[in-house]
């Protein structure tokens, strides 16, 4: 497609439709298996077995019980989800398979060398308060060959996916902590509308069941001391780390549902709290601005939203701030079902927003609304129409997916049933 024809197409239709989705989670190796487990109300939170957690501030996680030869778990996770989404779109996984310019947009944070390698490097540096340059120069050489530079790069995942598919559109890595995956999807929608690409592979990946992440989040006081992920519950005391990947294949819309399109990403919005490094603005001001921007972009009123896949981390401060923001933007929450997937699969950090968008797509596409696993007694400060126990089925024409991050970065996506879509 020439630049002129691309611009003309964008001028005719700003719609962005979902062609395929894929995910690998602690509950399943693909999205259908994961979705079924989520609807049953299952949780993947369990004791960590991959490494010794003696003395750690938390000894549980939502981990994927698989090993790969890659030191960097992000790559096989992202590849599995991307291949599934690509196949669901009806294309073979090979370079040049996309029908037009492909853009790749991935929410990812830096990878990490293995804990054993890091310990070895620390010992080579002297292991004390003073960095011993001479000892490090000699001792660290033994570890140099074991560290793949790509493991430490946030951009390695997007680059790998783009290379395998021969992408010629923009390739973008978004590194915004817990908002990374959703923000990557936002940027994919914007690039498609602008005519920068014809197809977008987008989503997020997180692999944070890791000694450094457990220790780091523990020092911040963000992890559940009870080892339970229970967003919006009166007894919540922090989140549980998890891992997984969720990917989408998007294209610009055409004349209705000519390709069987059922779901479109109708609106996107981003904002910044600018309030605190780890705590949300108590009234949810930044979150409300992002939601309002996404709804305005979609051209829909807050009253049209029937379901919210909440950020819902299970922390004392985040959950009530999000409910306050939802109330300001949507009005009464008595008629809006709310749930958070983090109760079941933990907090994926960079991948969290992407799996949230998949849950919103499922609600609109099939009417399947996942519950908040772990939620038993909703906090009075988090009053809403929570989905508790097992999933429910309902007609949802408009859904909202939220992702809010450390540092105050917010990203929201409005999912809507495509005009002319057939019956569920």
Taken in order of first residue, the domains within the chain and their CATH numbers are 3-111+153-254+263-417 (3.40.47.10), 115-150 (no CATH)
Looking at residue 5, its pLDDT comes to 47
pLDDT in tens, 76-98: 999 999 999 999 999 999 999 99
How high does pLDDT run on average in the chain?
Answer: 90
Least confident of 133-137, 169-173, 192-196, 389-393: 133-137
Q: How far apart are CA 77 and CA 342, in angstroms?
A: 18
Give the CA-trace dihedral at 101, 90, 172, 297, to 10 degrees.
Answer: 90
Question: How do residues 313-328 score in pLDDT, each as one tens digit?
Answer: 999 999 999 999 999 9
pLDDT > 90 in the chain, percent: 74
Q: Is 311 marked active-site?
A: yes
User: Can you name the residues that pair with 61 across neighbouring β-strands?
Assistant: 46
Structure tokens at 36: 């079924």
Task: Using the predicted structure, report yes or no on whether residue 232 has a pLDDT greater than 70.
Answer: yes
Angle between helices 352-366 and 180-193 (to 10 degrees): 60
Q: Where are the alpha helices (DSSP H) in 155-241?
A: 156-165, 180-193, 211-219
At residue 131, the pLDDT reads 66
User: What is the C-alpha end-to-end distance of the chain, expressed in Å?
Assistant: 33
Average of per-residue pLDDT across 275-303: 89
Tell me which of 125-134, 201-210, 360-369 is least confident: 125-134
Would you state the structure tokens that stand for residue 43, as one six-digit string?
């949780």
Percent of the chain at pLDDT exceeding 70: 85
Q: Which residues contact 68 (CB under 8 A, 6 or more apart)?
A: 75, 76
SS3 state at 393: strand
Higher per-residue pLDDT: 418 or 255: 418
Q: Which of 202, 347, 359, 412 is catalytic?
A: 347
Sheet holding 409-417, edge to edge: 171-174, 102-107, 199-207, 243-252, 16-24, 263-272, 409-417, 398-404, 307-309, 337-339, 385-386
The pLDDT of residue 390: 98
202, 230, 311, 382: which is the annotated catalytic residue?
311
Res. 397: pLDDT tops 80: yes
Residues 370-378, mean pLDDT to the nearest whole number: 98
| 133 in catalytic set | no
pLDDT per position as a tens digit, 204-213: 999 999 888 9
What length is written for the chain? 424
Q: How far apart are CA 112 and CA 310, in angstroms?
A: 29
Is 178 designated active site? yes
- Give the H/E segment covering residue 307: strand 307-309
314 Rama sector, left if φ>0, alpha if ψ -120 to 50, beta otherwise? left
Write down the catalytic residue from 178, 359, 382, 412: 178
């Amino acid at each position: 497609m020439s630049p002129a024809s691309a611009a003309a197409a964008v001028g005719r239709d700003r719609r962005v439709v979902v062609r395929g989705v894929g995910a690998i989670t602690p509950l399943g190796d693909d999205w259908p298996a994961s979705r079924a487990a989520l609807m049953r109300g299952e949780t993947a939170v369990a004791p960590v077995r991959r490494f010794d957690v003696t003395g750690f501030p938390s000894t549980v996680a939502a981990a994927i019980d698989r090993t790969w030869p890659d030191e960097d778990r992000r790559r096989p996770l992202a590849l599995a989800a991307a291949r599934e989404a690509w196949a669901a779109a009806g294309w073979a996984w090979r370079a040049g398979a996309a029908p037009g310019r492909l853009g790749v947009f991935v929410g990812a944070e830096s990878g990490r060398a293995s804990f054993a390698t890091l310990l070895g490097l620390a010992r080579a540096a002297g292991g004390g308060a003073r960095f011993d340059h001479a000892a490090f120069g000699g001792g660290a050489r033994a570890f140099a060959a074991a560290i793949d530079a790509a493991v430490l790069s946030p951009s390695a995942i997007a680059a790998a996916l783009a290379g395998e598919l021969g992408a010629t559109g923009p390739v973008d890595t978004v590194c915004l902590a817990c908002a990374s995956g959703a923000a990557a999807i936002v940027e994919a929608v914007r690039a498609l509308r602008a005519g920068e690409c014809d197809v977008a592979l987008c989503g997020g990946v997180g692999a944070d069941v890791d000694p450094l992440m457990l220790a780091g989040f523990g020092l911040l006081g963000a992890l559940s001391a009870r080892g339970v992920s229970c967003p919006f519950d009166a007894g919540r005391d922090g989140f549980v780390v998890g891992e997984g990947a969720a990917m989408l294949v998007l294209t610009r819309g055409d004349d209705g549902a000519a390709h069987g399109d059922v779901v479109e990403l109708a609106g996107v919005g981003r904002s910044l709290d600018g309030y605190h490094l780890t705590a949300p603005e108590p009234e949810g001001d930044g979150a409300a601005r992002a939601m309002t921007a996404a709804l305005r972009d979609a051209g829909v009123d807050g009253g049209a939203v029937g379901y919210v896949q909440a950020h819902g981390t299970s922390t004392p401060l985040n959950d009530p701030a999000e409910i306050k923001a939802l109330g300001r933007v949507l009005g009464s929450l008595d008629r809006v079902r709310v749930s958070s997937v983090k109760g079941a699969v933990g907090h994926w950090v960079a991948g969290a927003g992407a799996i949230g968008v998949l849950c919103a797509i499922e609600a609109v596409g099939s009417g399947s609304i996942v519950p908040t696993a772990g939620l038993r007694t909703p906090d009075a400060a988090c009053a809403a129409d929570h989905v508790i126990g097992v999933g429910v089925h309902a007609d949802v024409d408009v859904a909202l997916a939220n992702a809010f991050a450390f540092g105050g970065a917010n990203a929201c996506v409005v999912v809507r049933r495509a005009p002319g879509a057939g019956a569920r």
